[in-house]
Amino acid sequence: MSAMVIEYGLYVGILVLLAMPLGVYIGKVMNGERVFLSLVITPIERLIYRFLKVSATAQSSWKQYAKDAIALSACGFVVLFLIQISQNILPVNPENKEAVSWDLALNTAISFITNTNWQAYSGEATMSYFTQALGLTVQNFISAGMGIAVLFVIIRGLSHRKDKDQGLGNFWVDMTRIHLYILLPLSLVIACLLVSQGVVQTFQASTSGALIEPFAVDGDGEVIANGSILDDRVTVNSDVVEEATIIKEQLIPLGPAASQIAIKQLGTNGGGFFGVNSAHPFENPTSVSNFIQMLSILLIPVALVFTFGRNIRDKKQGYAIFASMFILLILFLSASAINEHLATPQLEQDGAVLTAVTLDQSGGNMEGKEARFGIVSSVVWSVFTTAASNGSVNSMLDSYTPLGGMIPMILIQLGEVIFGGVGSGLYGMIGFIIVTVFIAGLMVGRTPEYLGKKISPFEMKMAVLICLATPISILASSGFAALIPSVHYSLNNGGAHGFSEFLYAFTSAGGNNGSAFAGFSADTTFLNITLGVTMLLARYLPMIAILAIAGSMVEKKKVAVSSGTLSTSSPLFIFMVILIVILMGALSFLPALALGPIAEFLSM
């Protein structure tokens, strides 16, 4: 028991220890200060600026910034869409993969430019190496970089003053710096580490290996469960099955995986190279690779919180945000862990599984979890991946206990502001902080301000848009889909569990998470389009809103601090932020959760 607690503690502790110095590094990079990589990278950086015809000190308005970001996204979308539907004629396709259907290509393109990485396909079965490496991986970088870039606009908006000739920065300069100094070097390191653990990285076509234990399928491709194989003949209860096929070999998929996986985790993308994501032995072979990937999920989001405090020149504000996020993370991690370790009585029925912890038995709910990772690493991963808008998985959420599986769902529904996606998590949290400041400010009799800047109706409008974009996207799309009869066929389970699967799919898209609960077949034209539109709204509405806030904040002068000013770094305020985040989520999703996981739990 204590060993497990220590394991949880270590994961979280090491994460924070690594994130703090990284936060300072990112802060320096984005301010254009010298860092240890400057010597090597600065010449390249200059070259890029010359090519892009921008100056390193260029400033643009928030509208220009938004236009640039959306233009880049739009280009990314078109390129990615075209690559997919023409991958059969493009090079580096040793497996001769067919072109992707238009609706799946559309869904996937939206999914990757929005940093959602929802996958209605299995990578090894659908995408060519060319698509994976030059289509999907590129968007992994760009979408992550864009999130970070937008965060810095609001940081500047809050700390800069236009009347002092300070601006919001320039999109192209920010993107260049983020990629050259942060994402590329970090990805390179992580990719090499992953390769050392056995993650594949090759352009060689898939190969095959002999099965130790061959099995048989019938004419419809269904496995013959109790068939026995003798001399190429399949018998069931000594009756020969005529149309049976014996499977003796297994396909071993390969590909340039490590390079994509590094950025998939670092950039909170989460789209797996292989269908089962990081549960796949070639995507995540060992406990060491698991540890590296798990840390990578939250590394940059946590670091950015410290960067925030540093770059607004008030470290306490950064610590306060960190505290509120951290407390929430621990709260949800504990809730999920307790449920998974306790498992459910149903698992023990007829002595099927031992859920008690013994010396040689991990106990708890191991269903759907990889034996090489165990419960602790699986639970930490699933909480990290949904706290961040990552969405990669190393265990199957569908097999979690009702409440253990509800936690990842709630984490997404809260808006992924508990560290959240790179950049987007923190700027989402700023939306919540503005709402909190507004209510708390009124309660102490002042018109509200954050970091000395007054909050006017305009900022309020944008802040509620940020806070409510997630619930609105999820509720509207799932509510609409519930009316469509064909959606029933996507369900693999009935009852409350089936509803959880359905709700999770829309939660994942509406929260730009991309993880799947599994058990829900999402590759239908209707779902591809509905989920696609949901992802677009959930990503770009808050992004434009936060840019607008930055644009209006930078114009404002700072109000002086007095003892009548509401402190935004006090424990009380941290408590209130936590309260508002939970309250907004609870008010929006409590009835829906009651129909899914809660109803399922109560029927246990």
Contact residues for another protein, defined by CB under 8 A: 435, 438-447, 452, 455-457, 459-461, 464-465, 467-468, 471-472, 475-476, 478-480, 482-483, 485, 487-488, 491, 494-496, 498-499, 502, 557-560, 562-567, 570, 572-573, 576, 579, 583, 586-588, 590-592, 594-595, 598-599, 602-603
Which residue, 211 or 583, is less far from another protein as judged by CB? 583
> Shortest distance, CB of residue 332 to another protein, whole angstroms?
19
Structure tokens at 226: 């109790």
Tell me how many degrees the CA angle 18-292-200 measures, rounded to the nearest 5. Answer: 145
Measured distance CA(568)–CA(309) in Å, rounded: 12
Measured distance CA(530)–CA(597) in Å, rounded: 23
The burial class, CB within 10 Å (0-12 / 13-18 / 19+), for 44 is exposed
Which residue, 354 or 476, is less far from another protein as judged by CB? 476
Which residue, 5 or 444, is less far from another protein as judged by CB? 444
Which residue, 132 or 470, is less far from another protein as judged by CB? 470
Measured distance CA(369)–CA(279) in Å, rounded: 8
Q: Return the axis-axis angle of helices 374-387 and 315-342, rounded to nearest 10°.
A: 140
Of the candidates 54, 76, 51, the one whose C-alpha atom is nearest the C-alpha of residue 65 is 54
Which residue, 2 or 562, is less far from another protein as judged by CB? 562
> Shortest distance, CB of residue 537 to another protein, whole angstroms?
13
> Shortest distance, CB of residue 204 to another protein, whole angstroms?
46
> Shortest distance, CB of residue 474 to another protein, whole angstroms?
9
Of the candidates 125, 274, 287, 130, the one whose C-alpha atom is nearest the C-alpha of residue 198 is 287
Which residue, 209 or 591, is less far from another protein as judged by CB? 591
Measured distance CA(524)–CA(530) in Å, rounded: 10
Amino acid at 293: Q
In this structure, what are the phi and psi dihedrals at residue 231, rounded to the nearest 5 degrees? 50, 55
User: In angstroms, how far is CA 557 from the centroid of its own chain?
Assistant: 36
> Shortest distance, CB of residue 479 to another protein, whole angstroms?
3
Which residue, 121 or 506, is less far from another protein as judged by CB? 506
> Shortest distance, CB of residue 521 to another protein, whole angstroms?
16
Buried-exposed string 256-293: b where 16+ CB fall within 10 A, e elsewhere: bbbbbbbbbbbbbbbbbbbbbbbbbebbbbbeebbbbb
Which residue, 144 or 435, is less far from another protein as judged by CB? 435
* DSSP β-ladder status, 228-230 and 233-236: antiparallel
Measured distance CA(491)–CA(502) in Å, rounded: 7
> Shortest distance, CB of residue 438 to another protein, whole angstroms?
7
Which residue, 36 or 489, is less far from another protein as judged by CB? 489
> Shortest distance, CB of residue 569 to another protein, whole angstroms?
11
Torsion of CA 437, 438, 440, 443, to 10 degrees: 150
Measured distance CA(599)–CA(591) in Å, rounded: 10
Find the largest Cα–Cα distance for the chain: 89
Judged by DSSP in three states, 213 sits in: strand
> Shortest distance, CB of residue 452 to another protein, whole angstroms?
7
Which residue, 267 or 551, is less far from another protein as judged by CB? 551
Buried-exposed string 539-549: b where 16+ CB fall within 10 A, e elsewhere: bbbbbbbbbbb
Which residue, 250 or 603, is less far from another protein as judged by CB? 603
Beta bridge partners of 491: 520
Structure tokens at 253: 């998929």
> Shortest distance, CB of residue 318 to another protein, whole angstroms?
20
> Shortest distance, CB of residue 70 to another protein, whole angstroms?
24
